[in-house]
Amino acid sequence: MSLPLLPTISTFFIVLSAVLVAIGWVLVIQRKIEAHKKTMIAAAISALIFFIIYASRTIFIGNTAFGGPDDIKIYYTIFLIFHITLATTGAVFGIVTIVLGLKNNIAKHRKIGPITSVIWFFVAITGVAVYLLLYVFYHGGETTSVIKAIIGG
């Protein structure tokens, strides 16, 4: 079995971001504020690298359709919508949380940070599940480029 390069790399970066968030959580509990800040910035950069790879692949290569059995496709689709909703929410929360921290608005940062972290853990877990369903448990279906879909080709 050969795993697709870009989806594998992008999934690695989303998992790395979640691991870094967990480490950052431990650091802040230990009152290692500067290490927490650096770790959380690294987590954000890792998530951004994921997004750049994902968006580039989606635009230039395309999205891979679910290649598993038709009778579970609806469940995969619902799960995927849940993951995308979580990821979008997590990204917005992440940006707000980082901005609050960098602006030293610690009261609001402390309030929203744990919520953001939990959302992000679920994003990473569901992202890995999507990856496994698309590329490991089943062979991916057709991949269609967004550009090809728009301009025809």
pLDDT tens string 107-146: 999 999 999 999 999 999 999 999 999 999 998 888 877 6
User: Which residue matches tokens 């359709």?
Assistant: 65
pLDDT in tens, 65-113: 888 999 999 999 999 999 999 999 999 999 999 999 999 999 999 999 9
Task: Round to whole Å and give the CA distance between 43 and 117.
Answer: 11
- In three-state secondary structure terms, 64 is strand
For 59, the token pair is 């635009």
Question: 64 has which bridge partners?
Answer: 143
* 100, 37 Cβ separation under 8 angstroms: no
* 30-57 residue pLDDT tens: 999 999 999 999 999 999 999 999 999 8
Q: What is the pLDDT of residue 111?
A: 97
Residue position matching structure tokens 């504020």 = 33
Note whether 120 and 16 are within 8 A (CB): no
CA-CA distances (angstroms) from residue 70 to 76, 81, 87, 140? 10, 17, 25, 13
Confidence of residue 58 (pLDDT cuts 50, 70, 90): confident
